[in-house]
Amino acid sequence: MKIVDIIASPGLTGFYFDDQQAIKAGAGHDGFTYTGEPMTPGFKAVRQRGESISVMLILEDGQVASGDCAAVQYSGAGGRDPLFLAEEFIPIILEEIAPKLLGQELDSFRHLVGLVENSKRPNGDRYHTAIRYGVSQAILDAVAKAKKKTMTEVILEEYDLPMILEPVPIFAQTGDDRYDNADKAIIKRAGVLPHALINNVETKLGVNGELLLDYVTWLRDRILTIGGDDYRPVLHIDVYGTIGIAFKDDTQKMAEYFAKLEKAAAPLHLRIEGPMDAGSTEGQIAQLKALRAALKERGVKVEIVADEWCNTYEDIVEFVDAQAADMVQIKTPDLGGIQNTIEAVIYAKKYGVGAYVGGSCNETDAGGRTAVHVALASRPDQMLAKPGMGVDEGYMIVHNEMNRTLALLRRKASSR
């Protein structure tokens, strides 16, 4: 089965592009948008619509395989690729990527994605991570269609992984509506919640961390009140470096604050993502290691999750090798081709570091469904419900795709 044609169409994502630099600097709110001037190159506003590109591979038998190119909400921040706009990148896909794939036999996912991942643009640059991400999704879908298998099975076979017919915990993110959406996640019995979008010191963390401390206390009480005696999810909160800002990167003061958060969360387990932003991969590794050591010295069991400056497969290897975090977020669009996400999960698990198949609210339903197959095959500790920030939609997409796939795989396993 060969690829006979490639087409692309512009699309929208499940959220928005936000200028993280401007938000951290205090951009004001006006309804659902932000006020003030953008600060990150490429942005025309602090918040603008998220854009995607659907890549469709036409197969010899008329089947259509597809994947969506998309970039993260905070594009251009923390060492990530710049803003991804459909009008700018569709010509690159059709003129530069398509010739590499047309006529190719759909016999190996890993071989085909390598044709894109390892190639360069005429100017010598690598292709934008969003392009590599979406095209790799389409290739995986195409190989699965050619072989009449699920995408999970293709990954299991090509990476020689064991089939485990159990769901992967799903992480629901609330966005700024961190109270009502936390209720939604609790009612749906998400395995991990709430993310909470703590991206500003004064309005969300508190200058001494008091706002987040109050929120964690409320969240624990809310889960124990409406969740039932048999529901004990993991609390996972992304603070976008604000704890480092509030405590001036003083490791000891940060560790003392983590101890307070742990007490507020008990009996629930707590993870904090991105406690500080050191401005570089090397600096981030050093600061996270120092914080982990300080927490261990105090007996604080709050886990640290690496995000900023841990963007590529190579970055993840560095963080894992340094044992700089308890868990790494493998932010799928930032890694380019999804084969990098698969390999990053395998690498982290090999060396005893938690793996989180994440991504962004600013993806599409296609990216969310493909990530389910990646997770079911590679077995991370958790995966993100995506896209969007409304809980319901993203959780439904990921949860249902996971259950559908498990049902199919169980049927096949029982018939052997």
Q: Which residues are catalytic?
A: 331
Which DSSP string do the residues of 129-187 spell out, in sequence order? HHHHHHHHHHHHHHHHHHHTS-HHHHHHHHHT-----SPPPEE---TT-TTHHHHHHHH
Structure tokens at 316: 């993840």
Is 273 marked as binding a ligand? yes
Bridge partners (DSSP) of residue 29 are 34
- Find the largest Cα–Cα distance for the chain: 63
Is 173 marked as binding a ligand? yes
Is 277 marked as binding a ligand? no
Left (φ > 0), alpha (ψ -120 to 50) or beta: where does 388 sit?
left
The rounded distance, in Å, linking the Cα atoms of 105 and 87 is 29
Looking at residue 5, the DSSP 8-state letter turns out to be E
The rounded distance, in Å, linking the Cα atoms of 193 and 209 is 19
Left (φ > 0), alpha (ψ -120 to 50) or beta: where does 155 sit?
alpha
Is 238 marked as binding a ligand? yes
Is 5 marked as binding a ligand? no
Looking at the chain, the number of H-run helices and the number of E-run strands are: 15, 13
Residues of each annotated binding site for Mg(2+): 238, 273, 307
Residues of each annotated binding site for (2S,3S)-3-methyl-L-aspartate: 173, 329
